[in-house]
Amino acid sequence: MEESQNPVYKNKDYGKYREMLYSSYTGGKFEKAVGFHGEADRVILEQAWDLFKERIEDARQRVLAGKASPVVFYMEKNLLDPLGLSMVAGISLLRVKWHFRPNAFKRLSNNTLGKYAKAFNISIEQLKKVE
Amino acid sequence: MAKIEFEHRQAGHCESGVTSNLLHHHKFDISEPMAFGIGAGLFFSYLPFLKMQHAPTTSFRVWPGQVFERATKQLGIKTQVHKFRNPKDSMDKLNEVLDQGIPVGLQVGTFHLPFFPPEYRMHYNMHNMVVYGHENGIYFISDTLMDRLVEITYDDLVRVRYAKGVFAPEGRMYYPTYVPKNIDLRPGIIKGIRKTANNMVGVPFPLIGVKGIRYLAKSMRKWEKKLGPEKASYYLGQVLRMEEEVGTAGAGFRFIYGAFLNEAADVLKQEWLRELSFEMGENANKWREFSYKGSRNCKKRGKPEESYDYLADMLLVCADNEQKIFKKLATIKG
């Protein structure tokens, strides 16, 4: 397939990923072309990833300060929210929120820890510590 | 079992691309916009109560699975859809169907897809792709978003097919079983257009169709005051991501729909459809302008260059355009 003639999609700085886009010119003809990301796409994607990184860092600080349990950190790291985590791990939303407290986390059974570990795709030992 | 002969064609939208590619394999040529239009894929809904990546969901398309189902039903093509609770059963069934030489469409979640570009790996469970063969636990994939063919291991495939969360795929797999020899596109096109027009202007509910766009514009004006500059900018970014990023072929499917109307004018021999397709193209340009202006707002976080009032006005223009176009389209006759 040919490279796009449309100048907007000629930005090759961002990623190696090319997507197909349909575009209309003033002549009213519809064309499809394969192109790279433009500036606007880069900005809005970066915005999302900046927020995720911020949230992960924030969660890490709170866990290290003893204000939250490691579940919070790994939840943010997997880009989940409490509802999503409860669906992935198969634990009810109220219990998930309860386990965000460090004291509640310390008392968890191996069975429940295993559910979280499986959801985050890590081992139970990894789940217990955050560095 | 080796690979099945399968032609990979890149496409703008994953599901219509998969539909078009699968039917092409069964010797029935249908372009991607045509599959999208007959399947009545164009839509708009704003769901402030359903949060995705910490911001309200805006959808520019119908629910997953509907484009394939509707398009094949309207064209008289028989299909088979499977869902399984047990991952092992579903993988066994997948192997069995592949061994018969039939490529299979799958609904998957994107977060664990190994070949996906990292900047796109968010929790999004409505992605579609085709499997066209397997060998020693390696599956061969044709993903319409990628410009090349890719491979995936057994374990990874189970993981993405059983991704959890909103709209969980639950191992959904689908393939056409019988394709008639001579297919008349005309009734399908007319039904598809009517359905889309009804979705956009006929639903008496404020969050759907043209009314949904107006509702979004109305709430956008309040964002800055209600949420503070940073969060408001993030909410706007979410709308733009839904419009431009998640496999929409640009401008929230408006370009692809314009291309469909253009093709429909050829098939139905009705010239007024071509004029409407150009209007749709203009409208799509408006949407794209909206996303460029909006992205400038997102860039200067906290200090919006383009005010929300200005952007909301742009949305209202789009809503008016679309109302005009779909009111006309609703009167289509065969």
Domain ranges of chain A: 7-37, 50-128
Residue bearing the bigger pLDDT, A18 or B312: B312
pLDDT of residue A95: 92
Which of B145, B233, B282, B299 is most worth mutating to test chain A (most A CB atoms within 10 A of its CB)?
B299
pLDDT value at position B208? 86
Which region, left, alpha or beta, applies to residue B291 given φ > 0 means left and ψ of -120 to 50 means alpha?
A: alpha
Sheet of B138-142, strand order: B78-82, B173-178, B104-108, B127-135, B138-142, B150-153
Task: Give the pLDDT score at A14.
Answer: 43
| A-B Cβ pairs (cutoff 8 Å, strict) | 108
Range B318-322 average pLDDT: 89
3-class DSSP state of B270: coil
More confident residue, B131 or B229: B131
Instruction: Give the closest residue to B40 by CA, choosing from B259, B246, B191.
Output: B191
Is A88 within 8 Å of B237 when comparing Cβ atoms? Answer: no
How many angstroms separate the Cα of B223 from the Cα of each of A40, A114, B58, B226?
A: 21, 41, 15, 5
At residue A97, the pLDDT reads: 92
Q: Three-state SS for A8?
A: helix
CA angle B194, B218, B252 (to 5 degrees): 45
pLDDT tops 70 at residue B247: no
Q: Residue A98 pLDDT more than 90?
A: yes
Q: How many helices (H) and strands (E) does chain B have?
A: 11, 8
pLDDT of residue B305: 62
A22 pLDDT higher than 50: yes
The predicted structure's pLDDT at residue A6: 37
Mean pLDDT, chain A, whole residue set: 76
SS3 B16: helix
To the nearest whole angstrom, how far is the Cα of B94 from the nearest Cα of chain A?
24
Secondary element (H or E) of residue B105 = strand B104-108
Residues of A in contact with B234 (CB under 8 A): 47, 51
Residues of B in contact with A24 (CB under 8 A): 255, 258, 278, 281-282, 284-285
**CB–CB of A44 and B295 under 8 A?**
yes
**Which chain B residues contact residue A81 at CB under 8 A?**
51, 54
Tokens of residue B300, six digits: 């200067």
A53 pLDDT higher than 50: yes
Alpha carbon A110 to its chain centroid, in Å, reads 26
Q: Which residue from B199, B167, B146 is spatially nearest to B37, judged by alpha carbons? A: B199
To which residue do tokens 């939303």 refer?
A93
> Are the beta carbons of B250 and A22 separated by less than 8 Å?
yes
Q: Report CB contact under 8 Å: A15, B262.
A: no
C-beta atoms of A1 and B298 within 8 A: no
Nearest to B235 by CA among A47, A39, A124: A47
One DSSP character per residue, B36-87 reads HHHTT-EEEEEEEEEEETTEEEEEEE--TTHHHHHHHHHTT-EEEEE--SSH
| Res A9: pLDDT | 37
Name the residue of chain A whose CA is nearest to B276's CA. Answer: A28
| Contact state of B278 with A41 under an 8 Å Cβ cutoff | no
Smallest Cβ distance to A44: which of B12, B240, B262?
B240
Of A25-29, A97-101, B97-101, B120-124, give the lowest mean pLDDT range: A25-29
Min Cα distance B70 → chain A (Å) is 23
Domain extents in chain B: 14-178, 185-329
Name every chain B residue with its beta carbon within 8 A of the beta carbon of A1: 10, 147
What pLDDT is recorded for position A21?
A: 67
Residues of B in contact with A44 (CB under 8 A): 237, 240-241, 244-245, 291, 295, 298
Q: How far apart are CA B163 and CA B333, in angstroms?
A: 43
Task: Write out the H or E segment, with its range, that includes residue B212.
Answer: helix B209-227
Of A20, A34, A48, the CB nearest to B237: A48
Residues of B in contact with A122 (CB under 8 A): none
d(CA B167, CA A21): 26
Whether pLDDT at B333 is above 70: yes
Measured between CB atoms, does A79 come within 8 Å of chain B?
yes
pLDDT of residue B42: 83
User: What is the CA B175 to chain-centroid distance, rounded?
Assistant: 18
Q: What is the pLDDT of residue B250?
A: 60
- Shortest Cα distance, chain B CAs vs residue A6, angstroms: 13
pLDDT at A19 (0 to 100): 65
* Cβ B229 vs Cβ B302: under 8 Å: yes
Residue with the larger pLDDT of the pair A25 and B268: B268
B244: nearest CA partner in chain A: A41
Task: Summarize the confidence of residues B185-208 as an average pLDDT.
Answer: 87
Q: Rounded to two decimals, what is the model's pTM?
A: 0.83
For the record, the structure tokens of A118 come out as 């499986």
- Chain B interface includes A17 (CB < 8 A): yes
β-pairing verdict for B104-108 and B78-82 = unpaired
Would you place residue A101 in the very low, low, confident or very high pLDDT band (cuts 50, 70, 90)? very high
Hey, what are B252's tokens?
Answer: 């929230």
Mind telling me how many Å the CA of A84 is from chain B's nearest CA? 5
pLDDT bracket for residue B167 (50, 70, 90): confident
Separation CA A93–CA A70 (nearest Å):
17
The structure tokens 């109305």 sit at B218
pLDDT tier, B268 (very low <50, low <70, confident <90, very high otherwise)? confident
What is the pLDDT of chain B when averaged over all its residues? 84
Å from B258 to nearest chain A CA? Answer: 8
Indicate if the pLDDT at residue A94 is higher than 90.
yes
Enter the tokens of residue B245.
């990023």
Q: What amino acid occupies position B145?
A: L
pLDDT confidence bin for A16, thresholds 50/70/90: low
Residues in chain A with CB shorter than 8 Å from the CB of B261 are none
At the top level of CATH, the class of B14-178 is: alpha beta
Pseudo-torsion of CA B231, B233, B234, B239, nearest 10°?
A: 130
What is the rounded distance in angstroms from the CA atom of residue B246 to the CA atom of residue B124?
Answer: 9
Side chain identity, residue B78: K
B69 has a pLDDT exceeding 70? yes
Residue with tokens 């043209």: B210
Tracing tokens 């590619």 back to the chain, one arrives at: B21
Amino acid at B187: P
Segment among A96-110, B73-87, B202-216, B230-244 with least mean pLDDT = B230-244
- Which of chain B's residues have a Cβ under 8 Å away from the Cβ of A17? 117, 119-120
> A31 or A54: which carries more pLDDT confidence?
A54
Question: What are the chain A neighbours of B247 within 8 Å (beta carbons)?
Answer: 19
The pLDDT of residue B48 is above 90 = no
User: Taking the alpha carbons of B284, B285, B288, B293 in that order, is the dihedral positive or negative?
Assistant: negative
Instruction: Say yes or no to pLDDT of B201 above 90.
Output: no
Least trusted range by pLDDT, from A102-106, A113-117, B233-237: B233-237
Share of chain B above pLDDT 90, in %: 2
Class of the CATH-defined domain A50-128 = mainly alpha
Q: Which residues in chain B have Cβ-Cβ distances shorter than 8 Å to A39? A: 295
Nearest to B154 by CA among B102, B109, B90, B100: B90
